[in-house]
Structure 1
Amino acid sequence: MESILNPWPWYVSGPLIALIMALLLYFGKTFGMSSNLRTMCSAFGADKFADFFRFDWKAQKWNLTVVLGAIIGGYIAVNFLSNGTPTNLNTTTISELQNLGFKNAGTTLVPKEMYGLDALTSVEGLLILIIGGLLVGFGTRYAGGCTSGHAITGLSSLQKPSLIAVIGFFIGGLVMTNFILPIIFNP
């Protein structure tokens, strides 16, 4: 039973993702999380307030199963497939995170200093959430999709804009990790 509680290895999960992508390409569908937000907003009436949401959302409702699957899959993973093993981080990374004020780096998947209830109810935490959310929302629309859409669907269908977007995502992640995060969490 313990082996089922460990994360799936890349040679199992990778081919499963490839199989799903092949099926989506075969049926002429695309995958991405940010398009689901547009579909949900349109379904709940946002088309009355903005032209961006005026489209046939019913043609995209199949994609909402991705959101439902992410929610159900996350619940199953946390409650039934987690074995409590700490995240396997490099010792240098743990030391750098501790220098930034993350006390238990690597003991949980996400740091409580950023995602705990205390962080969410503080002014700084709310500002990070609001500003980060606006930047992610703007970036996804500006790039024409999110990281999952570009990196999985776009790259698998050999789209040059997706390659450029994924390179930009990695550069942005490196800048955030090495320059902006130390400024935000300077103890």
Structure 2
Amino acid sequence: MKELFEIISQPWPWYVAGFIIALVMFTLLYLGNTFGISSNLRTVCSIFGAGKNCEFFDFNWRAQTWNLIFAGGMMIGGFIAAQWLTPDSSVQISDETIAELQSLGIENPGENIVPEQLFSWESLLTLKGFVMLIVGGFLVGFGTRYAGGCTSGHAISGLSDLQLPSLIAVIGFFIGGLFITYLVLPLLLTL
């Protein structure tokens, strides 16, 4: 049993995980479905009656039940992996990255998946935390709606379906990510 735990607690090779993702995508395309996590928010809003007030939420949400189950499975799988399959919560990052993050004021970078001083309830009450969590969350939500989908929907499903808007969106995600990482984040971390 211990050997099995050691095997499944290690990251899967890219060729195994990539094959499984491709298999899921081909199956979804064959069945006429598209993958995207952000569409679950639309489905949940529709379930709770938002379609009575907004045309965007007025659709047959029952056709998207499979996506809600998929999102639930992701949460359950993430919980299982974090609780029982992750022997160490530290993240392996290079010494150069650790030094750069420490120069920006991040204490103990790599100790946890996310820096506790940025992503915690205590940090929410600071200007830095408010901007990063609330304003950043709003911008992600707005961008997801404006782009017609999230990164997973466009990068995995849209590109698999050879959709030009998804290619444009993915290029925009990368440009935006680079801009934020190299220009905006250092400014936010010095607040």
Return the TM-score normalized by structure 2.
0.91
3-state SS in 2 of match to 1:126: helix
Query: Mean Cα displacement is larger for which, 64-73 or 147-156?
Result: 64-73
Consecutive unaligned residues of structure 1, counting only runs of 5 or more, are none
Contact 1:6–1:83 (8 Å) recurs in 2: no
In the superposition, relative to structure 1, how do residues 95 and 108 fare at CA in structure 2: closer, same or farther (>3 Å)? same
Matches within 5 A, 1:101-112: 101-112=105-116
1:60, distance to aligned residue in structure 2 (A): 1.3
User: Which residue is 1:67 aligned to?
Assistant: 71
Q: What is the aligned partner in structure 2 of residue 28 from structure 1?
A: 32
TM score, norm. by length of structure 1: 0.93
Q: Could you say which residue in structure 2 is the equivalent of 1:91?
A: 95
1:44-86 Cα deviation digits (max 9, x unpaired):
1112232221111111121111210121011011001101063
Matches within 5 A, 1:148-187: 148-186=152-190
Q: Is the 8 A contact 2:89 2:113 kept in 1?
A: no
Residue in structure 2 matched with residue 119 of structure 1 by the alignment: 123
Of the structure 1 ranges 148-157 and 84-93, higher mean CA displacement relative to structure 2 is found in 84-93
| Conserved? CA contact 1:147–1:169, under 8 Å | yes
Aligned-residue Cα RMSD (Å) equals 1.5
Matching residue of 2:13: 9
Separation in structure 2 between the aligned mates of residue 69 and residue 121 of structure 1, nearest angstrom: 32
Equivalent-residue separation in structure 2 for 1:186 and 1:128 (angstroms): 12
CA drift at 1:120: 3.1
Tell whether the 8 Å contact from 1:30 to 1:149 is kept in structure 2 after alignment: yes
SS across alignment from 1:115: coil
**Aligned residue for 1:37?**
41
Identity fraction in percent: 56
Cα deviation, residue 99, structure 1? 1.0
TM-fit CA distance, 1:121: 4.2
Superimposed CA distance per residue, residues 1-37 of structure 1 (whole angstroms, 9 cap, x where no aligned partner): 3232222221221111111001001101000011110
CA distance in 2, matches of 1:127, 1:90: 27
Counterpart secondary structure, 2:132: helix
Letter of the aligned partner of 1:11 in structure 2?
Y
